[in-house]
Amino acid sequence: MATIFSKIVAGEIPSYKVAEDANFYAFLDINPLAQGHTLVIPKREVDYFFDLTDEEIGAMQIFAKKVAVAIKEAFPCIKVGQAVLGLEVPHAHIHLVPMQSEKDMLFSNPKLKFTAEEFAETAQKINSKWVAE
Ligand code: AMP
């Protein structure tokens, strides 16, 4: 059965898309630690990040880097933090979180609430800074 993230890639479940290429997809985390918190996933359905091939991990990291650059331009921050963790969704994903402090990366923090319109604006703002090549 397809994961919820594969359904997002297929357009069967809506998402606030930030960026996409042939192999990877980036969209806003619906329970963000900070405004601009983005998930990067491979389109190929693999549960465990370290089961991706060397080539996939390399290409995914380069894709995530470009997304991080766009996030930082859209939402100025000290750094964009990156994390691979969590057991909730069995589809490999990288969290990218704009940080004003290391505490912004604590996944035990309460999650922020935004309206659908605010999420859409946030995704659009990051996407406007996205450079595909
Ligand atoms: P984890 O596996 O612990 O890294 O958590 C998966 C992340 O995916 C959580 O931060 C969720 O908020 C996020 N998430 C789950 N479903 C969706 C969805 N439909 N759209 C956006 N983010 C989601």
- CB of residue 89 inside a 6 A radius of ligand 1: yes
pLDDT tens for 62-113 read 999 999 999 999 999 999 999 999 899 999 999 999 999 999 999 999 999 9
Single pTM value for the model: 0.97
| pLDDT value for 64 | 98
* Mean pLDDT along residues 21-39: 98
Q: Which positions are catalytic?
A: 93
Write out the H or E segment, with its range, that includes residue 42.
strand 38-42
Distance in angstroms (rounded) separating the CA atoms of residues 82 and 104: 11
* DSSP 8-class letter at 29: -
pLDDT tens for 38-74 read 999 999 999 999 999 999 999 999 999 999 999 999 9
Distance in angstroms (rounded) separating the CA atoms of residues 60 and 42: 7
Write out the H or E segment, with its range, that includes residue 95.
strand 94-99
The number of the ligand 1 atom at minimal distance from the alpha carbon of 88 is 2
